[in-house]
Amino acid sequence: YSSSDKAYGEVGKKSYTEDTCLNSVFPYDVSKSCSDLICQSYAKTYQLKIGILRCGNLYGPGDFNAGRLINGYIISKIKNQTFRIRSSGKLIRDYLYVGDAVNAYYLTMEALLKRKDNLRIYNVGSKYNLNVLEMTKKVSKIIDNKKPKIKILNSSKNEIASQKLNYKKIVKELKWKQKIDLDSGLRKTVEWYKKYINYFN
């Protein structure tokens, strides 16, 4: 099941471990918590083989959802448009390249097939933990090295201020590791959007 760091809710500046209580408040976050718990229930009650991965913010080529931060900003930057940030720009998140997330899913599935336990829960985090404004600066540096053209709306109040996943468990048990560094991942992503920019009107 594709759970999320959002399932934990607001924990503060501490990093989340898999044992951290799911204590979400906002509707999207609660939907992730509920689905996560239902999956756990089915694994324990019906002995189903279930893997739950709680990932940070994913990014990478091939994503047509222009509403996400990195995607939307890259598109705006390529088109020389002003990007509107719905938050204060200070929300902090983990950013993980999609290929690294796919590898985590594969390793989890492999472990479930080979071993007797029915339930596997893993945080899939990142060593790159940035706020929104920092991310726009990184993307700008890759595209044209010019100052970001942004407008901070600060209209989104129902979001968690800061999140950081502790992902030592998946590293220890499955030997997972983050293979794509942030700069390389962003460059790959920028190149994809440049190639397919005509799909985004």
Active site positions, annotated: 28
Task: Please check whether residue 76 is in contact with residue 139, taking contact to mean a CB–CB distance below 8 angstroms.
Answer: no
Q: How many CB atoms lie within 10 A of CB 37?
A: 14
Q: Which residues contact 29 (CB under 8 A, 6 or more apart)?
A: 4, 6, 7, 9, 160
Distances (CA, A) of 57 to 71, 145, 149, 198: 12, 24, 22, 25
Centroid of chain to Cα 166: 13
| DSSP conformation letters of 4-23 | EGGGGB---SSPB-TTS--B
Q: Where are the strands (E) in 31-88, listed by range?
A: 50-55, 57-59, 83-85
Let me know the angle formed at the C-alpha of 26 by 24 and 29, rounded to the nearest 5 degrees: 55
